[in-house]
Structure 1
Amino acid sequence: VLGRNEWDIVQEETFAPILYLIPYRDFDEALALHNDVPQGLSSAMFTTNLHHAEAFLSARGSDCGIANINIGTSGAEIGGAFGGEKETGGGRESGSDAWKQYMRRQTNTINWSHDLPLAQGIKFEIND
């Protein structure tokens, strides 16, 4: 079943392992659909196109607090600033980093390998 960006379930933050397949014409439309939700905690894009990856991570790209390339959205890297943008997350309004609340920032990762690593290097060993 192909999804539609205006569906309620697509517009809500479900915290569930759901994959939405939403058709788009080009990268710019895909990015507009991606950013057209009220939340902005974490995002990911899988691509081999360096220009699209750079655009997704740039100021005109993903408007989420965490943006990843070729790695999923599960888990947060311990060393990165964590908190959502828009209507998600608690913000970062206290402590020595309070001034950063007025800046747009995000934690970015790019994975160009053939493997799909999990957050913090977690590995699941499967014995046959």
Structure 2
Amino acid sequence: LDSIEKCKKEGGKFIVEGGVLKGKGYESGCYVKPCIAEVKNNYKIVQHETFAPILYLMKYKTMEEAVAMQNDVPQGLSSSIITNNLRESEYFLSHAGSDCGIANVNIGTSGAEIGGAFGGEKETGGGRESGSDAWKVYMRRQTNTINYTDKLPLAQGIKFDL
């Protein structure tokens, strides 16, 4: 909740406010309702990994600008774009695109990597060096998924009742 308040002070606009989830069954923990926030890439809430149900919206004009914003954060576990443009997909998955350990197209950032090389990049994840990929430590590897349907599958059957 402190991160949300700091984001507001930096100028973040909350489209869906979130807040503390209270009531029966939520007494013994700190549960936060999902938030949707319009932010800028340099806000602390974006630059520091926040384990909360917050969707960040950032305006951009080109795919290159969007990828640059995504690559400008210290985390690098997973990334995703939603597009019908094959050139955008190819750019996002190329060496010039996402610098995350997992990069997906038209699917969320979780659930598609089962069985793939998992480890993250930059400050996120433990790296692949301690697993079966240890011999590949000197190569950059990325797991990619592209969903060609017009439906957005959700990881592990997750559903949102909004």
TM-score by length of 1: 0.86
Report what 1:26 is aligned to.
62
Cα 1:15–1:101 change in 2 (3 A) is: farther
For the residue of structure 2 that corresponds to 1:81, the secondary structure is coil
Q: Segments of 4+ in structure 1 off by > 2 A? A: 74-77, 94-97
Report what 1:112 is aligned to.
148
For the residue of structure 2 that corresponds to 1:40, the secondary structure is coil
Report what 1:56 is aligned to.
92
Report what 2:136 is aligned to.
100
Aligned counterpart for 2:119 among listed residues 73, 83, 93: 83
- C-alpha displacement of 1:85: 0.2
For the residue of structure 1 that corresponds to 2:66, the secondary structure is helix
Identity, % of aligned pairs? 71
**Is 1:15 aligned to 2:51, yes or no?**
yes
- C-alpha displacement of 1:62: 0.5
Q: Which has the bigger relative contact order, CA under 8 A and spacing at least 6?
A: 1
The range that moved more, 3-12 or 92-101, is 92-101
Contact preservation (8 Å) 1:40, 1:84:
yes
- C-alpha displacement of 1:15: 2.9
Report what 2:24 is aligned to.
none
Structure 1 Cα separation of the partners of residues 139 and 60 of structure 2: 30
Report what 1:5 is aligned to.
41
Structure possessing the higher radius of gyration over alpha carbons: 2
Report what 2:78 is aligned to.
42
Aligned residues: 124
List runs of 5+ in structure 1 lacking aligned partners: none
Contact preservation (8 Å) 2:112, 2:145:
no
TM-score by length of 2: 0.69
Structure 1 Cα separation of the partners of residues 92 and 127 of structure 2: 22
Partner deviation per Cα, 1:71-118 (whole Å, 9 max, x = no partner): 111235221011110111111223552121221111111112122223
